[in-house]
């Protein structure tokens, strides 16, 4: 099983390629954030990536998403460091 950073990366790439929905990615990330036993907050890069991914489905208005492909590419670049 790939490590969590690779799993996050895979979901961001999925958003870019539209093979993962925003809702799927956000739900997946929120489940990891809510897992307090994992303590992902100790890794700032990973925590930031999870936080961003959890907001992938945020909308500015009906059908208008706050984040787009450019944002997803930026998240990927930050994750890859």
Q: How many domains does the chain have?
A: 1
> Is the pLDDT at 72 greater than 80, yes or no?
yes
Average pLDDT, the chain: 91
User: Closest Cα to residue 8, out of 54, 44, 39, 41?
Assistant: 54
> Is the pLDDT at 1 greater than 70, yes or no?
no
Cα–Cα distance between 24 and 2 in angstroms, integer?
18
> Is the pLDDT at 77 greater than 50, yes or no?
yes
Is residue 60 within 8 Å of 68, Cβ to Cβ? no
> Is the pLDDT at 46 greater than 90, yes or no?
no
In angstroms, how far is CA 60 from the centroid of its own chain?
18
pLDDT value of position 28:
97
Average pLDDT over residues 36-47: 78
Domain hosting 35: range is 4-80
pTM, rounded to two decimals: 0.89
Question: Which residues, other chains included, contact 18 with Cβ-Cβ below 8 Å and sequence gap of 6+?
Answer: none
Cα–Cα distance between 2 and 55 in angstroms, integer?
23
């Amino acid at each position: 099983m790939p490590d969590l950073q690779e799993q996050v990366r895979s979901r961001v790439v999925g958003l870019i390629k539209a093979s993962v929905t925003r809702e799927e990615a956000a739900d997946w990330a929120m489940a990891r954030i809510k897992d307090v036993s994992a303590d992902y907050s100790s890794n700032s890069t990973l925590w930031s990536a999870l936080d961003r991914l959890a907001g992938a489905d945020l909308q500015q208005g009906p059908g208008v998403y706050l984040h787009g492909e450019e944002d997803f590419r930026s998240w990927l670049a930050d994750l890859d460091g």
